Amino acid sequence: MAPTIATPISESSNITDFVVTNGNGVKGISEMGLKTLPKQYIQPVEERITVSNILPQESIPIIDMSNWDEQKVSESICDAAEKWGFFQIINHGVPIEVLENVKVATHRFFNLPAEEKRKFSKENSPSNSVRFGTSFSPEAEKALEWKDYLSLFYVSEDEVSALWPSACKDQVLEYMRGSEPVIQRLLEALMKRINVKEIDETKESLLMGSKRINLNYYPICPNPELTVGVGRHSDVSTITILLQDDIGGLYVRGNNDSWVHVPPVSGSLVINVGDALQIMSNGRYKSIEHRVVASGSKNRISVPIFVNPRPCDMVGPFSKVLVEGEIALYKQVLYSDYVKHFFRKAHDGKNTIEFAKI
């Protein structure tokens, strides 16, 4: 049954109360069947995507991981990370059943009543590691994004058991566990290209010392061409492992002001370089702007795993990268400071990386 609201939804304070405070999210607006988009979600013209700036003939690489140990697989991974910062992998070893289960669990969580989801909002959540929210950073945004999310920072299995929502915790944990060998092998390949031959404990902490997983929900939108699901940005992770459904809508930055669609490929995972790896590789690997468009006909979900340094880690170019006299482009930054800088502003393309530039 669609949610009800006593006063006009068009009034700014009512939108905030209904969507954010009361936990209805944009899913609640979508289910009201509005014919026009509330003005709070209308993006400036320059932030919208149009047919004229899409490159239909371009596509990011799709890499078959059937034979992990073959040199050409490692080379394909590194080449894609250098040229595109984005690629898809198939035959990666994560069971299809695990991927399907986490998609079902994502829908199950977002189909909970608003009062259940509200238990995990910023004001009510039992832990800072578990957060249900909407848009990206509503208090900093001039125009809101058409997305609801559940963000889960992995601390321990005990915390997962005690604090993560029962609607999805088992499936999300299984997905995280299943992805670990993929993450390890991807990072090993990427490190060898930049002269880091072995991932010791210190490097492991820097590359993959923490993980955050988001369940993203993009409901049907009345005027999708006027808004965004997610604004243009690059991730602050080392790498991101993204599971998307079959709806489509993810775009990555191509040449100049153009955008390239990342089409859903059954059973695939989308991999992208984050800012932390761009910094550690001294710019050899590129974290690329990407964005999500809203849909006027279908509810879309995606489930990214953000593989990150620990908040307490200092992140800068690896010494092995600079060994032949290459000049450092980035300073050493405390990772938690970098992440706070990202979240205290609206999505703004690649501007976050300026925080670390020398």
**Sign of dihedral through CA atoms 253, 266, 238, 164?**
positive
3-state secondary structure (DSSP) of residue 326 = coil
CATH number at residue 180: 2.60.120.330
- Tell me if 142 is assigned to some domain: yes
Looking at residue 38, its pLDDT comes to 83
Structure tokens, 48: 């919208």
Q: How many whole angstroms separate alpha carbon 100 and alpha carbon 243?
A: 10
- Tell me if 227 is assigned to some domain: yes
Looking at residue 254, its pLDDT comes to 85
99: domain range? 58-356
Model pLDDT for residues 209-259, shown as the tens digit of each residue: 999 999 999 999 988 899 888 888 889 999 999 999 999 999 998 877 789
Model pLDDT for residues 141-174, shown as the tens digit of each residue: 557 889 999 999 998 999 999 999 999 999 999 9
Q: What angle do CA 44, 49, 51 make, to 5 degrees?
A: 135
- Tell me if 29 is assigned to some domain: no
**Sign of dihedral through CA atoms 274, 280, 286, 289?**
positive
Model pLDDT for residues 19-54, shown as the tens digit of each residue: 777 778 889 888 988 888 888 888 778 777 777 677
CA dist list (Å): 236 to 63, 151, 307, 342: 23, 15, 9, 8
Q: Which residue has the higher pLDDT, 197 or 304?
A: 304
- Tell me if 196 is assigned to some domain: yes
Q: How many whole angstroms separate alpha carbon 75 and alpha carbon 343?
A: 34
- Tell me if 299 is assigned to some domain: yes
- Tell me if 21 is assigned to some domain: no
The answer to whether the CB of 143 falls within 8 A of the CB of 41 is yes
For residue 230, give the nearest of 49, 27, 58, 354 by alpha carbon. Answer: 49
Summary mean pLDDT of the chain: 87
Looking at residue 347, its pLDDT comes to 54
- Tell me if 85 is assigned to some domain: yes
3-state secondary structure (DSSP) of residue 39 = helix
CA dist list (Å): 251 to 40, 59, 145, 229, 261: 23, 10, 15, 11, 4
Residue 6 confidence class, pLDDT cut points 50, 70, 90: very low
User: Is the whole-model pTM more than 0.85?
Assistant: yes
Model pLDDT for residues 278-325, shown as the tens digit of each residue: 999 999 999 999 989 989 899 999 999 999 999 899 999 998 888 877
- Tell me if 230 is assigned to some domain: yes
Structure tokens, 243: 């599971």
Looking at residue 349, its pLDDT comes to 58
Q: What angle do CA 300, 90, 318 make, to 5 degrees?
A: 95
Q: What is the greatest pairwise CA distance in the chain? A: 67
Looking at residue 218, its pLDDT comes to 94
Mean pLDDT calculated for residue range 100-109: 97
Give how many domains the chain has, as a whole number: 1
